Structure 1
Amino acid sequence: MPRAFIHVQHLLGTGHVVRAAAIGKALAGEGVEVTLASGNSIPPTLDVSGLEIVELPPVKSPDAAFTRLVTPDGTEIDDTWRAGRRAATLSAFSRNSSDLLLTETYPFGRRQFAFEVAPLLEAAKNRPNPPLIATSIRDILVRKTEIEKEAWMADQALAHYDRILVHSDPDFVQLSDSFPFAGRVAPLVRYTGYVGGGPRPEPPGTDGEDEVIVSCGGGAVAHDLLSAALDARTLSRRADETVWRILVGHDVSEEAFAIFKRSAGEGIIVERARRDFPGLLQRARLSISQAGYNTVLDILIAGVPAVFVPFAQEQETEQTQRAEALAAHGRAVVAPEAGLSAERLAAAVDDALALPRSHHSVMLGGARKSAEILLDDIGVRTA
């Protein structure tokens, strides 16, 4: 029976481990024994049944700057911690032979973990029967201010990797949209479609019908968006008579949530984020959101016109690039986070409502397609 070892590190949000687990489960469904080594605590809501879970010493980023790494109790990591983490990873990998080593994001990000992943790659390559080595990356990479760092990514991929899985629909977003050395690594790249988009509960009653749906993911970095949305409804020329439903993420405190609810005027519903969010979008007139991977996927599937207010603090470029790529396809209007006001948001809403609803079929099934590609690669290598 083939064996796979997946290494994943999420630092602030949970999208990375969600995608890694989805690929792991798709591989397991094809008869592969999968070990998922996670460098942070796995969310209790994430289904990892059928996978062997290795909980590495956990680490996270305390904020969106991603310049510091801390343990769950807030202690900044040091060389002693790094040595222990490296030993734990290599020990987990050495327990079994592997036909596949999959690193999530690295080397196209997570360079802070080279102390751990570089030895892991060397251990894999030095085995008598080296595994296929692949990396799994989302649709958009975070641009670096120093192009030398991006050249390093390409160098590492060419030196150590057999396959690069890009989890996007190339009709909307291609690796070259966010990576200047995409041409160098092109022979290794395969597009899988988006990972996610599975079935969700249907909204009750008429919830969502002809509404403006405002969402913010977990909401930890969405205060400005939520505040502007509360005041934008009465300023819109095209959406001032429809219901605006504002979904507040569960990372927003109860105190802040209560303030948002008290601030809601007529025609505005404020409630916590819902599992039936994709169903609300299917019925909605318009979506207003940030531009995270999972939210954008739900919007693409629904085909609903959108306003994106991409998170762009601390030199973050990922969401802005994703939003601009969709805007270039006539799918959305972008309202920059810097200087956001109710007036600017209302103007963006009016512009977005002039866009047609899309009926383009989005390339999905990224986890299943990833498993197929990797198993084909293993077959080619072992034939």
Structure 2
Amino acid sequence: MTLINQSKRIIVYSHDTFGLGNIRRMLAISKSLVDADPNVSVLILSGSPMLHAFRIPDRIDYIKLPCLSRSVKGDYSVKFLDMEYEQLLKLRSNIILSAVLDFDPDLILVDKKPYGVSDELGAALHLMQRRGHRAKLVLLLRDILDSPESTIPVWKKNGYHDAIQLHYDKVLVVGSPDIYDMRKEYEFPDASHEKVDFCGYIARERSDKRAGEIRQQIGCTKERLVLVTAGGGEDGYQLLHSYLEGLSRQDLGDNTMTLMICGPEMSESRRHQIEILARSCRNVVIQEFNTDMMACMEAADLVVSMGGYNSTCELLTLRKRAILVPRVKPSQEQWIRAERLALQGLVRAIHPNNLTPKLLMDTVREELGRTNVHHSRLYQIDMGGLPRISESIGELLYDAEAKLPTRTRVSSRSVAAD
């Protein structure tokens, strides 16, 4: 009797060139996958420059791809190495191909771009297709990619729907069609439409720290606490500056403190400017980075934030009062999400083009003065993303095993003969 190998290998390709959102989300998904199945191990392929700063759970490892950067216009370039973009892209593509060949995954989970950044997944996908490799392919999409006017032509130009039909077994969307139905908004053809499963938003794991610990660390006892966060911080300077300028003109009083977290990717010069401006304000604590944002949010009475997917999910998980000032470049994604949630009364949203210190501080005062802090709609938001992702991927993994009970390795030796 031949014993079936129960071990399952998953490659997670994390599309990340900007901020912390992608890698934090993909790490949470990877942890959920190994927690749900003791037979699963995960190899993450990521270009995040901050990956080393996170705790990596058991049965998860990573290969660090050379970093790319993305401009506000959406153009990619080399971040650190003295190489031409095409050279670096070839290097990243070869690393990905080697990982697929040697790790020999049962399933590959791809974040956002069906062919990866600048088609860097293409070689691996086409090789697997030519070899009849049995790895299942799953595309993971956030609820919102960009405006329909930008997204539809990009997907047509890059042949993403063709990629879904040719390579992918399933498309998982971490969001709710009640908030934004991308199938309709982005005019998905029937063949792509049928592969889409909405998983709900990703609930964030609550911190082991008590809210009182964070408040005690910053000397906040009975005061109200406003948390102001710029996410990764690379493009959050204007939000922090506007808040401090508004606070210097409209003091919130002795009974209110502010915890401001700049983010690890804010430049040293800009962080220094924020620290200087904070000296003219009362009751402000500045931190460069905090590894426990959930604890910070839970400790706060009000959160002022950008509108990234992870930050929004953290706020929805904790049902926190929030003012979102999203970025609108290089993508409208954050603004569309903030606007949709604001229309349902779940958050307050300020378009960055309308942001002024006075408007921001007036909105802060209004929110701090509200008595109805838990909108009933908050309890109806679908936050079941992680368990549904694990369930969907588990179905594909064991369906593949039922059809092909023995492991067929694609060796690097066979590539030369291809």
CA shift for structure 1 position 327: 0.7
- For the structure 1 residues 325 and 183, does the alpha-carbon distance in structure 2 shift closer, same or farther, using more than 3 Å as the test? farther
- For the structure 1 residues 289 and 33, does the alpha-carbon distance in structure 2 shift closer, same or farther, using more than 3 Å as the test? closer
Residue 369 (1) aligns with residue 392 (2): no
Tell me how far apart the structure 1 counterparts of residues 135 and 222 of structure 2 sit (CA, whole Å). 48
Residue 242 (1) aligns with residue 249 (2): no
Give the counterpart letter for 1:44 in structure 2.
H
- For the structure 1 residues 290 and 187, does the alpha-carbon distance in structure 2 shift closer, same or farther, using more than 3 Å as the test? same
CA shift for structure 1 position 14: 2.8
Percent identical residues: 23
CA shift for structure 1 position 45: 1.9
Q: State the SS of the aligned residue for 1:69.
A: strand
In the alignment, what sits opposite 2:45?
A: 37
Tell me how far apart the structure 2 counterparts of residues 357 and 82 of structure 1 sit (CA, whole Å). 47
CA shift for structure 1 position 77: 1.2
In the alignment, what sits opposite 1:278?
A: 294
Residue 50 (1) aligns with residue 65 (2): no
In the alignment, what sits opposite 1:145?
A: 150
Give the counterpart letter for 1:369 in structure 2.
R
In the alignment, what sits opposite 1:295?
A: 311
Tell me how far apart the structure 1 counterparts of residues 390 and 305 of structure 2 sit (CA, whole Å). 31
In the alignment, what sits opposite 2:135?
A: 131
Tell me how far apart the structure 1 counterparts of residues 160 and 253 of structure 2 sit (CA, whole Å). 45
Count of matched residue positions in the alignment of Structure 1 and Structure 2: 377
In the alignment, what sits opposite 1:307?
A: 323
In the alignment, what sits opposite 1:70?
A: 78
Per-residue Cα deviation, 1:113-169 (whole angstroms, up to 9, x for no partner): 21x212222222233452221111222212363733233333322332111111235
Per-residue Cα deviation, 1:174-205 (whole angstroms, up to 9, x for no partner): 43586342866332122333346123233243
- For the structure 1 residues 307 and 27, does the alpha-carbon distance in structure 2 shift closer, same or farther, using more than 3 Å as the test? closer
- For the structure 1 residues 236 and 159, does the alpha-carbon distance in structure 2 shift closer, same or farther, using more than 3 Å as the test? farther
CA shift for structure 1 position 323: 0.7
Structure 1: unaligned runs, 5 residues or longer: none
Structure 1 stretch displaced more, 302-311 or 277-286: 277-286
- For the structure 1 residues 276 and 3, does the alpha-carbon distance in structure 2 shift closer, same or farther, using more than 3 Å as the test? closer
Q: CA RMSD in A?
A: 3.1
- For the structure 1 residues 306 and 178, does the alpha-carbon distance in structure 2 shift closer, same or farther, using more than 3 Å as the test? farther
Aligned partners of 2:112 and 2:140 also within 8 Å: yes
Residue 157 (1) aligns with residue 164 (2): yes
CA shift for structure 1 position 278: 2.6
Structure 2: unaligned runs, 5 residues or longer: 1-6, 403-418
Tell me how far apart the structure 2 counterparts of residues 208 and 126 of structure 1 sit (CA, whole Å). 65
Output the TM-score relative to the length of structure 2: 0.78
- For the structure 1 residues 263 and 88, does the alpha-carbon distance in structure 2 shift closer, same or farther, using more than 3 Å as the test? closer
Aligned partners of 1:176 and 1:183 also within 8 Å: no
In the alignment, what sits opposite 1:357?
A: 374
Residue 93 (1) aligns with residue 93 (2): no
Q: State the SS of the aligned residue for 2:194.
A: helix
Aligned partners of 2:236 and 2:262 also within 8 Å: no
Q: State the SS of the aligned residue for 2:230.
A: coil
Tell me how far apart the structure 1 counterparts of residues 126 and 222 of structure 2 sit (CA, whole Å). 52
Tell me how far apart the structure 2 counterparts of residues 317 and 259 of structure 1 sit (CA, whole Å). 28
Give the counterpart letter for 2:277 in structure 1.
S
Give the counterpart letter for 1:165 in structure 2.
L
- For the structure 1 residues 183 and 327, does the alpha-carbon distance in structure 2 shift closer, same or farther, using more than 3 Å as the test? farther
In the alignment, what sits opposite 1:227?
A: 241
In the alignment, what sits opposite 1:344?
A: 359
